[in-house]
Amino acid sequence: MTNPFIFNGYEGAELFFDRENELDTLMKCVSSKINVTLIAQRRMGKTGLILRLIDELKISRSKVTPIYVDIFATRDLAELNKCIANAIVKTFPEGTSVGKKLFGVLRGLRPMIGIDPLSGGPQVQLSYQNQTEKEHTLEGLLQFLDQQSNPVLLAIDEFQQIREYPETNVEAMLRTYIQRLHNVCFIFCGSKKHMMTDIFSNPQRPFFSSTQFIGLDAITEEKYAQHIRRMFMEGEKHIDDEAVKYVLDWTKRHTYYTQRLCHDIYDVKTKTVDVDIVRNCCDNLLRLNEPYFLQYKQLLTDGQWNYMIALAKEEEVTQPYANAFLKKHNIGATAVARRQLQTLIDKDLVFEETTKERSYYRVADLFMLRWLAREY
């Protein structure tokens, strides 16, 4: 039997676990054309959920045409256009009647169609455009989607990337164009919580209050434990309760890390799994990742590295400038700590999480957290 714990990409509804409520809400939003903002910590399962939604639209034979773009690698408006245009070209191939229209539209907008040297398929190439033309292209692409007979879902992953563009008006521009559409609904997805909430819930920003927020928390302990036990049982293996508890504590039920560890445990060639086997798998995972963690040691100053270790040792820190914390870990003055923490957040090595009850800081990569706490 193949390993039922995936930790890379999406491999169909059977291997995608839980998230029924979120999926249900997303399906309802799509059918009522409500735009959604999906925000959650890195590796919690946002992209997986979007791909699950796209799959569900297919399974339920929905009329909606889904289009997914990941704009993480785009650096400016021209690249955003290219990214969206490429996704549209893939969705409506040249041979189809919609595809023919699309190519007509694209020619009018001046981007040319070339051949992708890797896949041999069509690829949009943008000829030089001035700023107005670039804006016109984005509007043209969205209008094209709006003119389709079937409704369109455009899911934009890593949306916060638009904040990195040299053009500062992309947010306002997008909002203006989107307001004119009737047949396209959007999912804006991202993990940089501050940026995403600033885009969508700051009264001074163009997207203010225009979307429904959906967040993804860790799957509950009870559900995840049940799921793990069942997957092992179906593979004619057994995992004991102590081992399951260890897995869920060690990975804090953070989806990617839990899936990854379970994957490795499932691959161990024994029929029964106890906590010693789990510990062994944890050690192996940390050893495997060690060179990658050590790279960061080179990239950070001693002070920043020391701050990472302090955070890792405490697991979660609610008062990162409190005297007791600074003293215990030899961090230095509050002003120094403030700078160090900010740098670590900017580099995505640490995140701040705010729940109803409290707000805390944590080393973002859980394996790195476990490794730092163990090594230092």
Ligand X SMILES: Nc1ncnc2c1ncn2[C@@H]1O[C@H](COP(=O)(O)OP(=O)(O)OP(=O)(O)O)[C@@H](O)[C@H]1O
Distance CA 257, CA 371 (A): 13
Answer yes or no whether residue 159 interacts with ligand X by CB under 6 A: no
> Which span sits near Mg ion by CB under 5 A: 43-51, 131-139, 267-275, 311-319?
43-51
At residue 102, φ and ψ (nearest 5 deg) are -60, -45
User: Could you tell me how many residues make up the chain?
Assistant: 376
Answer yes or no whether residue 340 interacts with ligand X by CB under 6 A: no
In the bound complex, which residue of the shown chain has the CB atom lying closest to ligand X? 45
> Which span sits near ligand X by CB under 6 A: 10-18, 125-133, 301-309, 361-369?
10-18
Which option in Mg ion, ligand X, none does residue 9 bind, with CB closer than 5 to 8 A by kind?
ligand X
Shortest spacing between CB 115 and Mg ion, in angstroms:
29
Name the residue nearer to Mg ion (CB basis): 258 or 340: 258
Distance CA 244, CA 231 (A): 12
> Which span sits near Mg ion by CB under 5 A: 45-53, 193-201, 279-287, 343-351?
45-53
Contact 110, 127 (CB under 8 A): yes
Cα–Cα nearest to 153, from 175, 188, 189, 185: 185
Name the residue nearer to ligand X (CB basis): 44 or 326: 44
Question: What is the helix, strand, coil percentage profile of the chain, to 5?
Answer: 55, 15, 35
Answer yes or no whether residue 45 interacts with ligand X by CB under 6 A: yes
In one-letter notation, the amino acid at residue 183 is N
Size of the site for ligand X (CB under 6 A): 20
Answer yes or no whether residue 82 interacts with ligand X by CB under 6 A: no
- C-alpha to C-alpha distances, 353 to 164, 344, 362, nearest whole angstrom: 22, 14, 8
Tokens 């309802």 locate to 28
At residue 315, φ and ψ (nearest 5 deg) are 70, -60
Distance CA 129, CA 361 (A): 43
Name the residue nearer to ligand X (CB basis): 35 or 161: 161
Angle at 135 between CA 46 and CA 72, to 5 degrees: 25
Shortest spacing between CB 22 and Mg ion, in angstroms:
14
Name the residue nearer to Mg ion (CB basis): 40 or 308: 40
Answer yes or no whether residue 257 interacts with ligand X by CB under 6 A: no
Answer yes or no whether residue 17 interacts with ligand X by CB under 6 A: yes
Looking only at residues 195 through 214 of this chain, which bind ligand X when binding is defined by CB under 6 A? none
Contact 279, 244 (CB under 8 A): no
Answer yes or no whether residue 254 interacts with ligand X by CB under 6 A: no
Answer yes or no whether residue 18 interacts with ligand X by CB under 6 A: yes
Q: Terminus-to-terminus CA distance in the chain, angstroms?
A: 40
Out of 35, 37, 41, 47, the only residue in the binding site for Mg ion (CB under 5 A) is 47
Shortest spacing between CB 38 and ligand X, in angstroms:
9
At residue 357, φ and ψ (nearest 5 deg) are -85, -40
Cα–Cα nearest to 339, from 298, 300, 292: 300
Shortest spacing between CB 19 and ligand X, in angstroms:
5
> Which span sits near ligand X by CB under 6 A: 38-46, 113-121, 242-250, 306-314?
38-46
Tokens 């800081």 locate to 361
Name the residue nearer to ligand X (CB basis): 24 or 94: 24
Interface residues with ligand X (CB under 6 A)?
6-9, 16-19, 40, 42-48, 191, 255-256, 259
